[in-house]
Amino acid sequence: MKRLLIGNSDFEYLVSNNGYFIDKTMLIKEFYDSGNSVVVLPRPRRFGKTLNLSMIEYFFDTRKKEKPNLFSEYKISKEKTFCENHQNKYPVINITLKSIKAGNWKDCFEVIKSKVSALYQEHEYLKNSDKLNETERKKFNAIFSEEGTPSDYGFSLSNLSKYLKKYYGRKTIILIDEYDTPIISGYNNKYYDDIITFMQVFLGEAFKGNDSLQKGLITGILRIAKESLFSEFNNPGVYTILDPYFDDKFGFTIQETKDVLKYFGIQNHFPEVSEWYNGYKFGNTDHIFNPWSIINYINRYKQGFKPYWVNTGSDPLIKKRIIEPGLDNTYDDLQKLISGEALKKTLDENFVFSDLEGNKRLLWTLLTFSGYLTQTEKIDYETYMLKIPNFEIKTIFKNIIINWLENENKVQKELLEQTTQHLINNRIPQFEMGFKKIIGDTFSYFDKMGMAENVYQAYFLGMLAIISDDYVIRSNRESGEGRYDILLIPHDKTKYGLVIEIKQIPKRGKKEPETDFNKRVNASLEEARKQIESNKYYQELTAHKIRKIISLPLVFAGKEPFVMPLGGIE
């Protein structure tokens, strides 16, 4: 009986210790036979990139000739001619950059030095090799001992490939895992230009005009275009999750998922597993499952379903972009996504971090390439329909919004839950009291953003994320003869449906009599009521056969909310 060995991405360890391995070995041939000397494969984190690179290393590395039986039970072993010509025939450099992150450039460079030195120490036999000249040995030993100059480290990959070619008489295969982790860290910690300048040399010298390079493979999340990081490589082939190449080599397919569930005796769990962890589309391959979530679920299935996937590399960046003040229109889109709708968005595969500040549409590229959204349909060369792939990711979105309300705006989750329950159960006076407390006691945030009506609506939509499992929540959609603000459609047709119209008026002036202020509030509530009724905003609810409908005018006078329950339509 094979075992699940979670957290170890070394191919030899996995196979030699009777670990369960889903056969991705044909990636080896697909990579090598690619017409590109350098292949770049951006994929979301925890989708098997590190294990796949380890697999490729063990197949090609000439130092691992005693390991050919590692592949004997897998598909690549049937490619007899390919194996005879290439298996264990090349020196291989395999380095992961996933741990290269720090709070400043100085500390980051120290981590780089340590990482590259460890790589050189794997090839200690080169220290005194007579196949290297004196200058080469001196440079090798300087890196080996972490005593090289900044220039030495910039050229370290290129130089190591040349030393290996001299030693073995064969060109080198270079594998780089998570190349963009230090770049993301640089962006988050304000040393972006420093890390980009270093990476231009570090990667550029290794993959541009390097006569010692046989093939190169680079993985990460994004194709980072800053200063042509890839464009000057030797004929690079960049194959993103949108391209119909290598599309079944990362993540689990339907059949692979069914097979592993059956192997561990829980094949009857497939429908729920699919709802939670299925839903990605890579290239032309539909129904890709999140591998990290699948193996963790199998390992502890008695605990039930949980969101196991944590995208540690880009989570802070994504959360920052979702909740930042200038993206108020994004809340409406996020609520549509949480409700199961697909959005039509433009994706820019040539990602430039510095453009994040001014180009808000890059958020959708970041979310898609990081694995938070997936394509459902290609409209044209850069436009796609995007959706949340599964319940796990929906849960992550909900938690981002709820945590924002709790942590950034000091709103207690218990108060949010109570207030939303009052709303959907037609306890409108209690809802009004809870909502006034949320807004009045905690929400100085509006003061920073300005008092536009869509900001109130965005906040209200964020609050409703807490009930999105039970309701389809829509906003700014055509219904009847107009466009409503917010609509709640219950999955359970015996529950209340709601149509909400939001208005904004100036807050009460210091000298304004209370009676005059109340008149203004009531007039605005009446205007919202008439708008709901005259435009028949409730028609979308009746079309869904919802019999109990709450029409709710909601007016903000400054930060203070007022509501007018209008009764139900039976």
Tell me the pLDDT tens digit for each residue of 287-314: 999 999 999 999 999 999 999 997 545 5
Amino acid at 139: K
Cβ atoms of 422 and 437 closer than 8 Å: no
Phi, psi of 94 (to 5 degrees): -130, 115
Q: Which two tokens stand for residue 431?
A: 């809802």
pLDDT exceeds cutoff 90 at 222: no
Q: What is the pLDDT of residue 59?
A: 97
How far apart, in whole angstroms, are the C-alpha atoms of residue 456 and residue 477? 17
How far apart, in whole angstroms, are the C-alpha atoms of residue 336 and residue 333? 5
Residue 565's Cβ-count burial label (10 Å; 0-12, 13-18, 19+) is middle
Q: What is the pLDDT of residue 234?
A: 64
Nearest one of 75, 79, 59 to 67, comparing CA atoms: 59
| pLDDT tier at 17, thresholds 50, 70, 90 | very high
Phi, psi of 126 (to 5 degrees): -80, -15
Task: Locate all alpha helices (DSSP H) within 404-513, ordered by sequence.
Answer: 413-424, 428-442, 445-449, 453-464
Q: What is the pTM of this model?
A: 0.85
How far apart, in whole angstroms, are the C-alpha atoms of residue 456 and residue 446? 8
Q: What percent of the chain has pLDDT over 90?
A: 62
Nearest one of 333, 324, 323, 400 to 364, comparing CA atoms: 333
As a whole number, mean pLDDT of residues 389-406 equals: 81
Nearest one of 24, 72, 73 to 50, comparing CA atoms: 24
Amino acid at 86: H
Greater confidence (230 vs 428) lies with 428
Cβ atoms of 393 and 299 closer than 8 Å: no
Average pLDDT score, the chain: 87
Give residue for tokens 């959907």.
424
As a whole number, mean pLDDT of residues 162-191 equals: 95
| pLDDT tier at 450, thresholds 50, 70, 90 | very low
Amino acid at 502: I
Give residue for tokens 């395999």.
94
Q: Which two tokens stand for residue 410?
A: 């000091």
Cβ atoms of 110 and 147 closer than 8 Å: no
Q: What is the pLDDT of residue 257?
A: 98
Determine the CATH number of domain 11-238.
Answer: 3.40.50
Greater confidence (377 vs 229) lies with 377
Q: What is the pLDDT of residue 121?
A: 97
The model's pLDDT over 206-220, given as tens digits with 9 standing for 90+, comes to: 998 899 999 999 999
Cβ atoms of 338 and 470 closer than 8 Å: no
> What residues have CB less than 8 Å from 481, skipping those under 6 apart?
534, 535, 536
Give residue for tokens 């990460």.
220
| pLDDT tier at 229, thresholds 50, 70, 90 | confident
DSSP 8-class letter at 504: E
pLDDT exceeds cutoff 80 at 357: no
Q: Which two tokens stand for residue 1?
A: 């009986």
Q: Which two tokens stand for residue 65?
A: 């000739």
How far apart, in whole angstroms, are the C-alpha atoms of residue 84 and residue 68? 11
Lowest-pLDDT range, 56-70, 75-89, 139-153, 409-423?
409-423
pLDDT exceeds cutoff 50 at 568: no
Q: What percent of the chain has pLDDT over 70?
A: 86
513 C-beta neighbours (distance < 10 Å), count: 10
| pLDDT tier at 442, thresholds 50, 70, 90 | low
As a whole number, mean pLDDT of residues 66-85 equals: 92
Residue spans in the chain of domains classed CATH 3.40.50: 11-238
Lowest-pLDDT range, 209-213, 214-218, 225-229, 495-499?
225-229
| pLDDT tier at 315, thresholds 50, 70, 90 | low
Q: What is the pLDDT of residue 150?
A: 93
Nearest one of 158, 64, 169 to 116, comparing CA atoms: 158
As a whole number, mean pLDDT of residues 223-230 equals: 65
